[in-house]
Each structure stands twice: as C-alpha cells, then as structure tokens.
Amino acid sequence: MSRPRRAVLNVVKSLKHPAQPQLDRPRLFPPPEARTETKTAKAPVEQPSSSRTASALAPDGVFSPTVWASLQLPSPPTLTAFAHRVGLANVLTTPEAVQQIFTHPSFVPYFARYYPEEKTLASNAALSNIGNALLGLFAAEHLHATYPHLPTRVLKAAVSAFVGPTTCANVARSIGAPALLRWRRSHATLKQPAVMLDDALASVSRSLVAVLYRERSISAARAFVNSMFLSRELDLRNLIKFRDPKMALRATVEKFGREPPKSRLLKETGRLSNSPIFVVGIYSGLDKLGEGFGSSLKMAEYRAAEDALHRLYLTRQPPHLLQVPSSTFLASGLDIFRLPEEAEYVPGAIGETEVLYGSAGKSGVRAVSYRSQVPSEVQSEEHDKDGRLLI
Amino acid sequence: MFQAPTRQILRASLTTRGANGASAFIPQCTKIVFEYCDNWSSSDKLRTYLAKHIKAVAESHPHVEFVVKQRPFKQPIARGFYVNGRTKEIGLKKLEITGIQQKIQLLLDSSGAKIKPLKRETIQSTSDAARGIWSGLHVEEPFRI
C-alpha cells in the first residue's frame, strides 16, 4: 500500500510544480474590482479614489458578477481556435483581428464606461457594412446568372433569403459565434433602431466576408460566400406563388406568341372513391407545358398551370457553366500590364421579363409622357412579324 | 377561377437551410475542459495524460480550445462544448491512458447532437431521391383490377 502511495505523491508533486503553461492574462476570481469594493456587515461603504471604482462596477457598493462577466473579452486561445475552425487561420493571424470581428459597436461604449483606462475597442461596424454590400453583390449576380428568367420580386426575396439578416445570423450560429460575441442589447430609440441578438450575430458573418476582401482579394471573398451562403438550400417554388396560375399562364403563353393553353386529363384513378387521383397536363398545341396531380380535377389543373410557370421561371444555368460579372474584376496584387491567361467571360442571356397582367404595373395615375407630346407622325408604331414593338 | 388566398412574405425573415459539409465543413467541437484533482488517486491517469499526451492532441486539433481546470476532491471528467450549444461530459475515473485517449477522440469526433437511435426510423432527407420515386400512373401499362 505504501509504494503506490509514494508513486502517487511523486506524480502529484511533479504535477503541482511542472512547467506551467504561460497564460497571457491570469484570470482571478473574485476580480480585483470585487475585492476592494466588497461590502461587509461591519465595514462601512467606502468611496475609493481609483478610477476603476465601485461606482462603475457596483453602483450600490455591491459587486455584480453578471455585469463583470458580460465585460470580459474572450481569451486568445478561444479566438485562435475560432480562426482555425472556419479555416481562416492564415488570414486572421492575430487574436486582435478575430476580436474585432466579434465586437459589436453596441459593446464599445459599455466597455469604455467600466474600463476607461483600457484602449478603446475596435468594433466591426465598418467591416459589417462592407461585408453586407459584398454579400448583396455576390448573391444578386449569382442568382441572376443562375435563374435568368426569375421575376424581379422573387429575385429580391431570394437574395434576402440567401444573405439576409436571418441567414447571416444563422451562419454565425453555425460557426460557433454566440460564445465569442460581445454586444449589448438596446431597445429602439428615435435615433437608432433596436439591437437584438440576430443583428449582432449577423454583423459577425458579414465582417468575415469583409476581412477576406481586405486581406486577400474579391475572388477569395466570393469563394467564401459561395461555400458558406450560396450553397445553402432554398426551395424557390415557395417564393413563386400565383393567385390564379391559369390566368398567368394564359398571359405568358400569349406573350410568347404560342397557342393558348389547353388542359387535358392524362390519367385518373378512383374518381368515385374517397381518394381519387387525377393527372392533368397543360398543352400549348402539341407541346406539354406542365403536369399536375390532385384529388380533384380543378386542383390537378391548378398544379399543372403552376408547374408550367415554374418550368419557365426556374430555368437554371448549370453550375459548371455559371459565369458571374464580378469574376472579371482583377484580383489585388496583379500587374495590370500583364493580364492573366483566363477563360473569356461570356455574359449570360438576358432573361425574359415577367408577364404583367391584371393591374400589375399600372398605378392608375395618368402621367404626361413623351409620346403624348411628340407630333403625331412619329407616334405611328411599327411592329415586327411577331407582334412585338420595334423601338 | 378559384383565387388562392395569398400571404405577405416578410423578406427579412426569409432564410435558407444549411448543410454542414456540403461545401465547407465546420468542426463541431469548440472546447474540451479537463477537470482533475491533485489529491485523490482516481485522477492519477488523467494527470499523467495531461502531463504527457495532451500537447500532441491539442496541436493536431487547432480548432479546439483545451482547458485544464482543477476540481479538488472530485472525480476526473472531460467536458466537451459544441457549436449547437450542448455539452458532453465523460467520467474518466476507471480508465487507463488508452481509455482516456479513446474518450477524448469520441468528444472530438462528436457533433454534440443527442444520441438518436437510427435503426428504428426510416430515412428522411431534404434532397430528391437519386433514382426517382415510382408512380403507378406514369407507367406504360397501368395495373388494372
């Protein structure tokens, strides 16, 4: 029994005095701020003279651990581990660079109020702004190049879905940002909007894009956005909804100069049972535009019209043929007198504009237009053989 | 024609689904905390592990923060923190060094999700079926009773 005990004691002694890992900031608890201002039953409440005072951290002379905890910055190992986790260890080389990404501007005055002697923290406000602009650029050109015929409102909604505030916050959550984020909640005032957790988290992912753009190049920023934002899943069919898809299809087919759509029952089963299935196809002449199923004839026809419109609006450029305009921007550090050998940029086809029917596009307000002022002989309009206006 | 009721879409609330690993893979383990005791003999193996083996593991996993914490007069544990906000605690009381290594590897490999029995339920996927879904109405000769 004695031998194992001696071995244990040796191990314990060696571990108690091994070469200690060097800590940059030894973390003591309770912190110095608490020890000088701790109120006891016997001692009277003192007003210390140093600037790091109870009046800042302890308004009633009592130390508040929650306030103290919210003021502590993440340690350098945490920040370095984050840089490795997102694969940007070569870009975010110092913990200070990572700290800036996680410091929301709402935190800076809060920190300065309690630690006025410390250096003012660098916030991610400017980075977040640049990153937001870059995200909008990359998402808009990527979606427009991928879906050239997408209606404008749907394109705007899709851009919001891919790089909007909710998605930016979710991307930040997926990389482990909530533990490192330093921010301060505030309600909406007359001068400033509210700051909620999603806003603070969104600033983190936007700042990452901006840091890549600043430290590397626009191509590196675009590759990051493609892998972290634009490869996420979204069903665009839920964003293209029609009040009356049959009417919309009729107007669309008319615009393309084809025969009016005619729906035909392709297959049916169980018509008189409690669960019938009808498969309806919508044809323009001999071409089948769309197919839909349903438990009633009307529902099947509705879905067939929707399917036809989806097949038009969601025409997709294959990813391996995709070329975006910002790929023509030169990466930084290149000699502009010697351009790199690269594939020529082929612009995508301009998509067909969406059909406006009903009262869409017409506000009902009569405006004085150029045509009404021009003499009558110029106003004669010429049409080509397809019935389209020649400008 | 039937006019479907429409719902207003608030663009700021639209979002996409992420799939970790589809394009970029984010390792899910963020931090591992070792809690050991200097006095009790149950922490012997862990103390040896911390003295000799942890440095190599930490260097080969730079995305994980390793924290060594003293918890006097308690049994040794390793606690893993994950991106989904959950933690996994593993007691290291009766384990040899190789056992501790295996448990640390388990913590590093885990996603932090709750352990779910996978054999009971059918597979659910958000992507389309690779071979398509068979339809009895889309065959040349439909079945007739």
CATH code of A292's domain: 3.30.160.20
| Residue A194 is assigned to a structural domain of this protein | yes
Q: Can you tell me which residue has the tokens 């025409």?
A: A315
Q: What percent of chain B has pLDDT over 90?
A: 81
Residue A280 in tokens: 């309806």
Instruction: Verify that A267 and A215 share a domain, yes or no.
Output: no
Q: Residue A315: its pLDDT value, please? A: 94
- Residue B21 reports pLDDT greater than 70: yes
The alpha-carbon gap from A201 to the nearest alpha carbon of chain B, in Å, equals 14
Q: What is the pLDDT of residue A59?
A: 55
With respect to residue A249, please indicate whether it lies within any of the assigned structural domains. Answer: yes
pLDDT for residue A220: 94
The nearest CA of chain A is from the CA of B85 a distance in Å of 8
Q: Is residue A170 domain-shared with residue A124, that is, in the same domain?
A: yes
Instruction: Please state which CATH number belongs to domain B25-109.
Output: 3.40.30.10
> For chain A, which ranges sit under pLDDT 70?
1-28, 36-61, 330-336, 338-343, 369-391
State whether A225 and A260 are in the same domain: no
DSSP state string for B49-64: HHHHTHHHHHHH-TTS
Per the CB < 8 A criterion, the answer to whether A231 and A319 are in contact is: no
**Do the domain assignments include residue A13?**
no
Segment B87-101 shows an average pLDDT of: 97
Sheet of strand A277-284, all strands in order from the earlier edge strand to the far edge: A262-269, A277-284, A287-294
Could you tell me if A289 and A166 lie in one domain? no
- Asked whether the beta carbons of residue A170 and residue B18 sit closer than 8 angstroms, the reply is yes
Q: Which of B1, B6, B14 sits opposite A157 (nearest CB)?
A: B14
* A110 to A29, A100, A139, A174: CA distances (angstroms): 21, 15, 35, 27
- Across B101-128, average pLDDT: 93
Does one domain contain both A190 and A175?
yes
* Domain identity same for A370 and A247: yes
Q: CB–CB of B137 and A162 under 8 A?
A: no
Q: How many structural domains compose chain A?
A: 2
Residue A179: inside a domain, yes or no? yes
What is the number of other CB atoms lying within 10 angstroms of the CB of residue A14? 12
Looking at every residue in chain B, the average pLDDT score rounds to: 93
Q: In chain A, which residues have their Cβ closer than 8 Å to the Cβ of B26?
A: 85-86, 174-176
* CB pair distance less than 8 Å for B16 and A234: yes
Say if CB A290 and CB A308 are below 8 A apart. Answer: yes
What pLDDT, on a 0 to 100 scale, did the predictor assign at position A343? 63
CA distances from A191 to A103, A127, A142, A187, A194 (A): 21, 22, 35, 11, 10
Whole-number pLDDT of residue A338: 64
Q: What is the ipTM metric for this complex?
A: 0.93
Whether A130 and A159 share a structural domain: yes
- From the list A152, A161, A149, the residue with the least C-alpha distance to A311 is A149
- Residue A348's pLDDT is 84
CATH at A152: 1.10.1520.10
In a shared domain, residues A80 and A124:
yes
The answer to whether residues A170 and B15 touch, using CB atoms and an 8 Å cutoff, is: yes
pTM (two decimals): 0.83
Question: What integer pLDDT is reported at residue A378 of this predicted model?
Answer: 46
Per the structure, the complete domain to which residue A170 belongs is given by: 68-236
Contacting A residues, span 321-380, partner chain B, CB-CB under 8 Å: none
Chain B residues closer than 8 Å to A139 by CB: none
Show the tokens assigned to A38.
């701790």
Do A161 and A189 share a structural domain?
A: yes
Q: How far is residue A291's CA from residue A296's CA, in Å, rounded to a whole number?
A: 14
CB contact under 8 A, A160 and B48: no
In this predicted structure, the answer to whether residue B86 has a pLDDT above a threshold of 90 is yes
Q: Are A173 and A97 part of one and the same domain? A: yes
Determine contact: A246 vs chain B, CB below 8 A: yes
pLDDT of residue B76: 98
* Inside any domain, residue A87: yes
Same domain assignment for residues A291 and A386: yes
